[in-house]
């Protein structure tokens, strides 16, 4: 069985959100321990991860140095953080495998994700990134070709496109490495966004791809049986922030889709994760889970987190799994 494990950005920072070097190394060690348990349980594992805090740090460096050197474009920021986090995760995974007596090699693939050059997001960018700046500092970056918006009292903030992921360009390389016995880290941050020109050549573009939606595309591309999205909460919650809030355990895709359509999940938080698991199941016919990092082994097996099954699975998991049965 093959599982794509999507680690949220929180999995690569400290509990309070700090992203110092030592914080990221410690967070990677914690994630690697959970992954080692998956491998010990017999799973083929592919890892993808968020990179928001790391790209955010690079953007601050861009801002501080913009009057001296040209800012590094966003696709380059993605490539740099993929390489750095891949290196950190490989070291952590190698150490965790050694502790568990597991003979498994690791690899990291700098991965590109194809998007459409005519995606509406490029015409009207709406995805806010980075910190707020005073107008004068934002103007320096506008002169370098970036799009910034006046957000009132908070200041100015950069906005970029967030196009739909169409294809994981380097998925065949990831699949070949997995078939050769490697545990692969790839497609970090949703992948480096690229477009294809009229002659077939690829070019990086300034954009941010949703990492969860991109994880669903990668999972299908590498033939994953299960998609697990690890985040900072144990389950999806219905009625979040209300007196009627309740965790969602096992659920069929049609019911989860109905919850989403009635606006249960916020676009900036749980919404993309729910959309990702639905897309994966609709095209792969397996199951998916959204869970905490500590529950990924049980979630992969269908026994923890919010576990989403295909509509034709009336009772897809063993009865002894401790889930809230909403169906």
Cβ(36)–Cβ(97) below 8 Å: yes
Distance CA 96, CA 98 (A): 5
For 51-98, what is each residue's pLDDT tens digit? 888 888 898 898 888 889 888 899 999 999 999 999 999 999 999 999
- Most trustworthy range by pLDDT among 108-122, 261-275, 287-301: 108-122
b (16+ CB within 10 A) / e for 199-224: eeeeebbbbbbbbbbbbbbbbbbbeb
Q: What Rg value do the Cα atoms of the chain yield, rounded?
A: 20
DSSP H helical ranges for 16-73: 21-40, 52-65
Residue with tokens 């030592």: 22
Residues with Cβ within 8 Å of 265's Cβ and at least 6 positions away in sequence, in order, are 236, 259, 271, 273, 274
Strands 250-252 and 306-309: parallel
Short-list 99, 82, 83, CA closest to 34: 99
Cβ(184)–Cβ(178) below 8 Å: yes
Q: Tell me the domain boundaries of the chain.
A: 2-111+164-224
Choosing from 51, 273, 303, 305, which is the catalytic residue?
Answer: 273
Choosing from 8, 10, 189, 191, which is the catalytic residue?
Answer: 10
Of the two residues 64 and 46, the one the predictor is more confident about is 46
Decide if pLDDT at 263 tops 60: yes
Partners of residue 54 on adjacent β-strands? none
Fold of 2-111+164-224: Carbamate kinase (3.40.1160)
Query: 9 an active-site residue?
Result: yes
Q: What is the CA angle 159-165-168, rounded to 5?
A: 130
Choosing from 211, 249, 302, 305, which is the catalytic residue?
Answer: 211
Short-list 297, 274, 301, 271, CA closest to 286: 301
Q: What is the pLDDT of residue 180?
A: 95
Q: What is the pLDDT of residue 146?
A: 84
For 118-138, what is each residue's pLDDT tens digit? 999 888 888 888 888 899 988
For 74-87, what is each residue's pLDDT tens digit? 999 999 999 999 99
Q: What is the pLDDT of residue 222?
A: 95
Q: What is the pLDDT of residue 308?
A: 95
DSSP state, residue 164: P
Cβ(79)–Cβ(56) below 8 Å: no
Query: 154 an active-site residue?
Result: no
Q: What is the pLDDT of residue 70?
A: 86
Q: For 16-27, what is the mean pLDDT?
A: 83
Query: 61 an active-site residue?
Result: no
Q: What is the pLDDT of residue 312?
A: 74
Neighbours of 327 (CB within 10 A): 12
Q: What is the pLDDT of residue 326?
A: 42
- Exposed / middle / buried, residue 124 (Cβ in 10 Å: 0-12, 13-18, 19+): exposed
Decide if pLDDT at 320 tops 80: no
Query: 62 an active-site residue?
Result: no
Short-list 273, 122, 261, CA closest to 203: 122
Q: What is the pLDDT of residue 285?
A: 63
Cβ(178)–Cβ(2) below 8 Å: yes
Choosing from 8, 9, 191, 249, which is the catalytic residue?
Answer: 9
Instruction: Give the 3-state secondary structure of residue 163.
Output: coil
Cβ(112)–Cβ(79) below 8 Å: no
Decide if pLDDT at 20 tops 60: yes
Of the two residues 105 and 14, the one the predictor is more confident about is 105
Choosing from 56, 57, 117, 127, which is the catalytic residue?
Answer: 127
Q: How confident is the model at residue 315 (pLDDT cuts 50, 70, 90)?
A: low
Across 41-45, 189-193, 221-225, 308-312, least confident range: 308-312
Q: What is the pLDDT of residue 322?
A: 40
């Amino acid at each position: 069985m093959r599982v794509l494990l999507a680690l949220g950005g929180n999995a690569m920072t400290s509990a309070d959100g700090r992203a110092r070097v030592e914080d990221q190394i410690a967070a990677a060690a914690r994630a690697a321990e959970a992954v080692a348990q998956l491998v010990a349980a017999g799973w083929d594992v592919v890892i993808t991860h968020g990179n928001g805090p790391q790209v955010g740090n690079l953007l601050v460096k861009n801002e501080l140095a913009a009057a001296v050197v040209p800012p590094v474009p966003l696709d380059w920021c993605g490539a740099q953080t993929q390489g750095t986090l891949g290196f950190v995760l490989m070291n952590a995974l190698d150490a965790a495998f050694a502790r568990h007596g597991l003979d498994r090699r690791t690899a990291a693939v700098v991965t590109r994700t194809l998007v459409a050059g005519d995606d509406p997001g490029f015409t009207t960018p709406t995805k806010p990134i980075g910190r707020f700046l005073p107008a004068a500092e934002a103007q320096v970056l506008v002169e370098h070709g970036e799009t910034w918006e006046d957000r009132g009292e908070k200041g100015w903030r950069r906005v970029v496109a967030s196009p739909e992921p169409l294809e994981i360009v380097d998925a065949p390389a990831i699949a070949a490495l997995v078939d050769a016995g490697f545990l692969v880290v790839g497609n970090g941050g949703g992948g480096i966004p690229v477009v294809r020109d009229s002659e077939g050549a690829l070019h990086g573009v300034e954009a941010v791809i949703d990492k969860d939606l991109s994880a669903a595309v990668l999972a299908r591309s590498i033939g994953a049986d299960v998609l697990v999205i690890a985040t900072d909460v144990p389950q999806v919650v219905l009625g979040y922030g209300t007196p009627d809030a309740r965790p969602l355990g096992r659920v069929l895709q049609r019911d989860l889709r109905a919850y989403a359509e009635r606006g249960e999940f916020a676009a900036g938080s749980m919404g993309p994760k729910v959309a990702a698991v639905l897309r994966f199941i609709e095209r792969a016919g397996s199951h998916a889970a959204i869970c905490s990092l500590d529950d990924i082994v049980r979630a992969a097996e269908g026994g923890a987190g919010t576990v989403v099954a295909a509509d034709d699975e009336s009772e897809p998991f063993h009865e002894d799994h401790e889930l809230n049965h909403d169906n």
